[in-house]
Amino acid sequence: MRVLAAMSGGVDSAVAAARAVEAGHDVTGVHLALSKNPQTYRTGARGCCTIEDSRDARRAADVIGIPFYVWDMAERFHQDVVEDFYAEYASGRTPNPCLRCNEKIKFAAVLDRAMALGFDAVATGHYARKGPDGLLRRAVDPGKDQSYVLGVLTPAQLAHSMFPLGDTPKDLVRAEAEERGLAVARKPDSHDICFIADGDTSGFLKNRLGSEEGDIVDSGTGEVLGSHDGAHQFTVGQRHGLGLRRPAADGKPRYVLSITPVDNRVEVGPRDALRVDRIRTAAPVWLDEERTGPFEAEVQLRAHGQVHPATVAADADGLTARLHRPAYGVAAGQALVVYDPDAEAGDAVLASGTIDSTERTEVPASFGEAAGV
């Protein structure tokens, strides 16, 4: 097959490209230029997509012995990922930009261009697997599993995707990179949002969305406990950086419970008030056969978060998940990814949806009998 290897400049994508070559494919490497002005990314930035990353990707391609190109995706990335990031926070939601980048850039814009150029598949360094049935499954290394952020892929996109690292723990990938003579073998992983090089998300949002003083209030009493200069700087479940004028009467910490952009209001309260057991999403993306009636599954609410057994129902407008045990600090804008825990060869991703709302139900209802749940 003709394979386009997306090379970020890190160790994972370099080894993935090398494995694709070793498997007998005709491989071409490509690095995505996602910044309109790469010179604004400081040397040693903690995210990805820096000038250094581009150079590292080129060196890796040279060692592997494959053609290498840089594709300018800056405008598309800015519109589909960065602008979405701003808009979601301005609406009081908490987006996942890595998930959105996978959906809109790596497996939409890049895959579309690759197919138009005659490639058969795109290979990436994501830690996930494709089963014999073509379904997306968790990686062997649970600590690195990235099936959650790939849950937004459509079946057609998944069919033309390759994940060569899904069956290998990360430490063995680094060891393999050293054996192959790849200089990125010990390069640190990126953990920050790639377009916020200094890691200051609050400052990044303030520069674009501005500052406006508002109240931080107690959710139970309505008492004003503090002030802030922009509700967009907070997320549901946040504990630190609230700047409250005095501690709670019970001495326990307070958490952000809700954000209301229309009146720039942030409500805080005890951790127990974050507990939810019913989650509703927007229209789902199905990676497996679409289901309607209630079915048992497992759901994941964060990229490396806890997995929750749940009863899930679906309709044309979204998914509804009734958790068997409560979750805490679930924010609208994040993704809910549904897994089949009984699937052969590991958990398979069934569907995903962007979280719209959450609810705490005091008395568990008979899920299957409740219309619309």
**What is the per-residue pLDDT for 314?**
92
Q: Which one of the listed residues 48, 49, 98, 194 is annotated catalytic?
A: 194
> For residue range 285-321, what is the model confidence (pLDDT) as tens digits?
999 889 878 999 999 999 888 899 999 999 889 999 9
* SS3 assignment, position 342: coil
> For residue range 209-233, what is the model confidence (pLDDT) as tens digits?
988 999 999 988 888 988 999 999 8
Told to judge if 49 belongs to the known catalytic residues of this protein, a careful annotator would answer no
Fold of 275-359: Elongation Factor Tu (Ef-tu); domain 3 (2.40.30)
Told to judge if 101 belongs to the known catalytic residues of this protein, a careful annotator would answer yes
**What is the per-residue pLDDT for 51?**
78
Given CATH 3.40.50.620, say whether it is the number of domain 2-186: yes
Radius of gyration of the chain (CA): 22
Nearest of 150, 154, 171, 98 to residue 347 by alpha carbon: 150
**DSSP string computed for 311-355:** EEEEETTEEEEEEEEEEES--TTSEEEEEETTSTTS-EEEEEEEE
pLDDT surpasses 90 at 160: yes
Nearest-angstrom CA–CA distance, 185 and 12: 9
**What is the per-residue pLDDT for 44?**
47
Residue 86 Cα to chain centre, angstroms: 16
Nearest-angstrom CA–CA distance, 250 and 271: 12
* Residue 135 one-letter amino acid: L
SS (H, E, C) 137-176: EECCCCCCCCCCCCCCCCHHHHHCEECCCCCCCHHHHHHH
Strand-pair category, 26-33 with 68-72: parallel
Give residue limits of the domains in the chain: 2-186, 211-269, 275-359
**What is the per-residue pLDDT for 371?**
36
**What is the per-residue pLDDT for 114?**
96
Residue 294 Cα to chain centre, angstroms: 26
Q: What is the CATH number assigned to the segment(s) 211-269?
A: 2.30.30.280
Q: Which one of the listed residues 48, 49, 98, 101 is annotated catalytic?
A: 101
pLDDT surpasses 90 at 9: yes
